[in-house]
Amino acid sequence: MDQSKASMETLTLARRFGGPVHSVRIDAIEPFAPDAVAAILALVADNLNASAVFAAGTDRGNDVMARLAARTGQPFAANCVDAEPGSPVSVTRFRWGGSLLESALLHSPRPLITVAPNTFSAEAEPAPIEVDVKPFVAQLDETDLVVRVSDHIDTAGGRVSLAEAKVVVSGGRGVGSKEGFAIIEELAGLLGAAVGCSRVVTSAGWRPHTDQVGQTGTKIAPDLYIACGISGATQHMAGCKAAKRILAINSDAEAPIMLNADYAVVGDLREIVPAISAELRKSR
């Protein structure tokens, strides 16, 4: 339902269940109204006699599918990393922010499943059959439109999306202050990267919550994650564990993140980060 990498990952898993795959866009209703999208999904699934309903495990995907489950009385398995068709369906899914995997059996005539982001190779697949939702929109009830998006607050212009960035430069408590993020932003700018942070940084008010990487923030899967002054608590690692490479810069050689890093630099980030930026400038 999300026309991006997440939708391609979802399609990969959905095709395991055989038969034609039909697609209902999550933006079928504008502005976004989760109950309305759930109602349309219920109508479409009945009309097509769908064997299962899948969605990307994004905030909106999980929101819609939870409402579909409540509407239809069917069980819902969120954030799955694997699923095998059968009766019952066998699923494997993330629990506790990705710190453990749960194997479960889903007893349902029509399984409802969301696919955890960054868990499948987003390979090009034959396009699904897109459903014309106009006939179903006409069947919506007024109550389906009560909850809907009323406004959008834009982030700073020109910034790279944290969820989609190929490189992310993050700062933690070790950055020291809101002003200390200037060197983090400088490095990110040179690398064309997104700026992230740990939960303690948002709690201190140094960065907005939208910059937070972690269990209660954004889960990322960049080619390179540069963690500056971040200890590497379990909640934070749950958000960056899908990174292909992790470079940790920390004054504490025993910090937990050092054990998870592919490359580690022990030292003062206030010296190391500007030095990296200086070398990048020289090479250009």
Residue 240 has pLDDT above 60, yes or no: yes
Average pLDDT, the chain: 90
Residue 103 has pLDDT above 80, yes or no: yes
DSSP secondary structure, 265-276, as one string: EES-HHHHHHHH
Q: Do the domains spanning 5-145 and 167-282 agree at the CATH topology level?
A: yes
Which tens digit of pLDDT belongs to each residue from 136-186? 998 999 999 999 998 876 655 456 788 889 999 999 999 999 999 999 999
DSSP secondary structure, 6-58, as one string: HHHHHHHHHGGG-S--EE--TTSSSS--HHHHHHHHHHHHHHHT-S-EEEESS
CB-CB contact of 219 with 79 (8 Å): no
Residue in this structure with the two tokens 């039909």, named with its chain if needed: 22
Residue 125 has pLDDT above 90, yes or no: no
Please choose, from the candidates 40, 71, 7, the residue with its C-alpha nearest in 3D space to the C-alpha of residue 134: 40
- CA–chain centroid gap for 217, Å, is 9
Select from 3.90.190.20, 1.10.4190.10, 3.30.450.20, 3.40.50.1220 the CATH code of 167-282. Answer: 3.40.50.1220
CA-to-CA dists, residue 195 to 125, 131, 218, 241, angstroms: 32, 38, 12, 17
pLDDT band at 109 (very low <50, low <70, confident <90, very high): very high
* For the chain, percent of residues with pLDDT exceeding 70: 93
Residue 129 has pLDDT above 70, yes or no: yes
Please indicate whether residue 124 or residue 14 has the higher confidence score (pLDDT): 14
Assigned CATH topology for domain 5-145: Rossmann fold (3.40.50)
How do the domains of the chain map onto residue ranges?
5-145, 167-282
DSSP secondary structure, 211-254, as one string: GBBSTTSB----SEEEEES----HHHHHHHTT-SEEEEEES-TT
pLDDT band at 284 (very low <50, low <70, confident <90, very high): confident
Which tens digit of pLDDT belongs to each residue from 29-45? 889 999 999 999 999 99
Compute the average pLDDT of residues 87-108.
87
Compute the average pLDDT of residues 221-239.
94
Which tens digit of pLDDT belongs to each residue from 50-76? 999 999 988 899 999 999 999 999 999
Residues with Cβ within 8 Å of 182's Cβ and at least 6 positions away in sequence, in order, are none
